[in-house]
Amino acid sequence: MKDYQGVVMTTPVSLGYQRQSPHGASWFIGMVLRELILRSGVSKTDVEGLAVSSFSLGVDSVVSLTQQFGLSPRWIEQADMGGVSGIVALRRAARAVQAGEAEMIACIGGDGAAHRSFEHTAANFSSWSIDAAFPYGAGGPNAVFSLITARYMEEFGATREDFARICLDQRYNANHYAQALLGHKTLSLDDYLNARPIAGPVHLFDCVMPCAGGEGFLLMTEDRARHLGLPYVQILATDELHNSFSEDPVQQRAGWACYRDALYQRAGLGPEDIDMLQTYDDYPVISMMQIEDLGFCDKGDGARFVQETDMRFDGSGKPANKLPHNTCGGQLSCGQAGSAAGYLGLTEALRQLTHSAQSNQIATARTCLVSGYGMVNYDRGLCSAAAILQEADS
Amino acid sequence: MNLKEKMKRRLKLNRPSLRARARPPKQRTALGQQFTAANLPVSLSMQVCTACEHHQYPPAELCGHCLGDTLRYQEVDTAGQLLSRSELHHSLWEFFKRRIRTKPWPIGSVKLRNGPVVIGHLGEDTLQTGDDVAVFSHSDASQASVLIIVSAGTPIATPEQREHIVAALNLKQPAEKQGGI
């Protein structure tokens, strides 16, 4: 696979996080676009490409948005793939910039959160979910992930205390990130263990809070970013794989396990060279699976790894091994803004690597691995994606 | 009362939580409705590919193995193994919300001996991961077929035996609102 020479990511934007909102998806996407233009100092006509991800555009699409926003792009893409939408949009857009199809592309994920809209999304997620998953207790994603979590715990001996390590460190990170919806609250091990049960081993603090919000960034040529004076990061390697290991009766791994060696090889790095990890944390067991499949530890060893690793952004935790993880608190503490949640890891990595994060800034971080997971079509998440990003050479 | 207030009030009264009788999710795709129809006369019926014998579940337009337009419903073996189980303490649907108030709702996933993985209601609370089980279908209070998981050897051959298990699960009766509107 060809490298991403000459293409860079800039201008991370996260905005509008609210538990409920009267605004629709186009408000969040449009506001992110406005912010991207204002912060980068370009004009609307300079945005030659638009990639959009959303669950709640309804009858509209990225095409409708071009007219609503008064854009005339040469290149458009719609990546409605939940937890991988950000990385997939990044991959498509980077190649388009590289091929000269567009010089600057805005990648944006955004979703509203109207009253009872989550219920509607869960009840109508896919035809297989409508016919064969939702009728069984109507638990939505909690039900499916409780089955995956229960099996993982039985097979590998992981405990709720292990999952707590992920949730507690992320909440600490969120306490230092202003936009996190739960960032004003601390979370103790007792709070976590005594939380009300939701589905099997999944309790309240293992679940993300559906919310409204928008996330986005710009992709452009390196020359353009230099010319505009924008801090940027380089894309070392990316990959994606869908419906992998379909013969596994219960999901315990996903695509990362297939392509991680090639991914690291293309980046010229190994897991030990990664300074910071952003996983897709819709449930802590899924973050643990990503840690394993991305080679930070062996399969089934995730519980031990999180017990022995400090995942706080500032390394203030007790364990000696340090790996800052989901440094803005992830969805577990920020809230899950629909498809924007698939961009959260990327925008956070961009902020960290361009040293533009606020009080949750990591002191020294040069490389970041961002991974995505998503789309529970029936009994498991089908999509997996990963990207390795690096601070630009100065 | 002006129109705006009237509509607001109507919207308020239309909440699922205020309905006298709540029923399980009725919504199915056209393929799901065919599954229901095919399962009315037998304990378990599934799409089987006449070309490659692939058992297809959830129902689909084409065979997931050979992509042939060759799927036909036929009665299939009910045997399988329980992959995972869980109790729901929270639901998005009023019928289950009311049931959960008395007891968490048990669900499970099963690997059927002839291939597919199915999600179903647990007919017995004592089932554990790895247990040999049988899966049968039955209409619920919304007249849609749902799958029920019971331990292997449970008598499910006759409609009366299956009806008895489903009645004990409280799936055939709507969940009534207590205390009036």
Shared-domain flag, residues A87 and A44: yes
Contact A215, A343 (CB under 8 A): yes
Phi, psi (5° rounding) for residue A50? -140, 120
Short-list A287, A312, A323, CA closest to A302 = A287
Q: With an 8 Å Cβ cutoff, are A136 and B84 in contact?
A: no
At residue B80, the 3 state secondary structure works out as strand
- Give the CATH number for residue B158: 2.40.50.840
Q: A116 in contact with B at a CB cutoff of 8 Å?
A: no
Shared-domain flag, residues A217 and A291: no
Which residues of B are less than 8 Å from A202 in CB distance? 86
Shared-domain flag, residues A18 and A88: yes
* A204 burial via Cβ count (<10 Å: 0-12, 13-18, 19+): middle
Q: With an 8 Å Cβ cutoff, are B84 and A198 in contact?
A: no
Shared-domain flag, residues A18 and A79: yes
Asked whether residue B21 is assigned to any structural domain, the reply reads: no
Mutate to test the interface with B, among A116, A125, A136, A151 (most CBs of B within 10 A): A136
Asked whether residue A122 is assigned to any structural domain, the reply reads: no
Determine the Cα–Cα distance for residues A256 and A84; give it in Å rounded to an integer.
Answer: 12
Per-residue pLDDT reduced to its tens digit, A103-128: 999 999 999 998 888 888 999 999 99
**β-bridge partners, A276:** A368
Asked whether residue A121 is assigned to any structural domain, the reply reads: no
- Give the CATH number for residue A60: 3.40.47.10
Close Cβ partners of A218 (under 8 Å, ≥ 6 residues apart)? A9, A10, A11, A36, A40, A47, A104, A105, A106, A107, A230
ipTM of the complex in this document: 0.93
Shared-domain flag, residues A160 and A297: yes
Asked whether residue A2 is assigned to any structural domain, the reply reads: no
Q: What is the pLDDT, as a whole number, of residue B181?
A: 55
Determine the Cα–Cα distance for residues B54 and B134; give it in Å rounded to an integer.
Answer: 19
Asked whether residue A318 is assigned to any structural domain, the reply reads: yes
Range of the structural domain that residue B116 is part of: 28-175
Q: Where would I find the beta strands (DSSP E) of chain A?
A: 7-18, 49-53, 75-78, 104-111, 197-199, 202-203, 212-221, 232-242, 276-278, 309-310, 321-322, 367-376, 381-391
Report the residue from B27, B58, B147 with minimal CB separation from A128: B58
What confidence category does residue B178 fall into, taking pLDDT thresholds of 50, 70 and 90?
confident
Shared-domain flag, residues A222 and A263: no
pLDDT of residue A69 exceeding 90, the answer is yes
State chain A's mean pLDDT as an integer: 96
Determine the Cα–Cα distance for residues A212 and A109; give it in Å rounded to an integer.
Answer: 11
Segment 174-203 of chain A within 8 Å of chain B by CB: 196-202
Q: What is the pLDDT, as a whole number, of residue A240?
A: 97
Range of the structural domain that residue A25 is part of: 7-116+212-232
Per-residue pLDDT reduced to its tens digit, A131-185: 999 999 999 999 999 999 999 999 999 999 999 999 999 999 999 999 999 999 9
Count of structural domains within chain A: 2
% pLDDT > 70, chain A:
100
Contact A87, A238 (CB under 8 A): yes
Contact A189, A172 (CB under 8 A): no
Q: With an 8 Å Cβ cutoff, are A138 and B92 in contact?
A: yes
Final residue belonging to a domain, choices A179, A200, A232? A232
Which residues of A are less than 8 Å from B105 in CB distance? 137
Asked whether residue A127 is assigned to any structural domain, the reply reads: no
Range in A202-211, A264-273, A299-308, B15-24 with the lowest mean pLDDT: B15-24
pLDDT of residue A208 exceeding 70, the answer is yes
Determine the Cα–Cα distance for residues B132 and B129; give it in Å rounded to an integer.
Answer: 9
Asked whether residue A42 is assigned to any structural domain, the reply reads: yes
- If you average pLDDT over residues A211-240, what whole number do you get? 97
Close Cβ partners of A116 (under 8 Å, ≥ 6 residues apart)? none
Per-residue pLDDT reduced to its tens digit, A331-344: 999 999 999 999 99
What confidence category does residue B80 fall into, taking pLDDT thresholds of 50, 70 and 90?
very high
Shared-domain flag, residues A243 and A331: yes
Close Cβ partners of A37 (under 8 Å, ≥ 6 residues apart)? A43, A44, A47
Q: A131 in contact with B at a CB cutoff of 8 Å?
A: yes
Close Cβ partners of A177 (under 8 Å, ≥ 6 residues apart)? A183, A327, A328, A329, A334, A357, A358, A359, A360
CA–CA min distance B46, chain A (Å)? 13
Higher pLDDT, B20 or A304: A304
CA distances from A356 to A38, A184, A353 (A): 16, 21, 8
Shared-domain flag, residues A227 and A238: no
Q: Which residue of A has its CA nearest to B90?
A: A198
Q: What is the pLDDT, as a whole number, of residue A394?
A: 62
Asked whether residue B12 is assigned to any structural domain, the reply reads: no
Shared-domain flag, residues A142 and A280: yes
Question: What's the whole-model pTM score?
Answer: 0.95
Determine the Cα–Cα distance for residues B44 and B39; give it in Å rounded to an integer.
Answer: 6
Shared-domain flag, residues A315 and A370: yes
Asked whether residue B7 is assigned to any structural domain, the reply reads: no
Q: What is the pLDDT, as a whole number, of residue A15?
A: 97
Asked whether residue A128 is assigned to any structural domain, the reply reads: no
Tokens of A164: 């707590």
Q: What is the pLDDT, as a whole number, of residue A152?
A: 98
Asked whether residue A124 is assigned to any structural domain, the reply reads: no
Per-residue pLDDT reduced to its tens digit, A6-28: 999 999 999 999 999 999 999 99
Count of structural domains within chain B: 1
Shared-domain flag, residues A316 and A340: yes
Residue A150 parent element (H or E): helix A141-156
- CA pseudo-torsion sign A98, A355, A226, A41: positive
What confidence category does residue B8 fall into, taking pLDDT thresholds of 50, 70 and 90?
confident
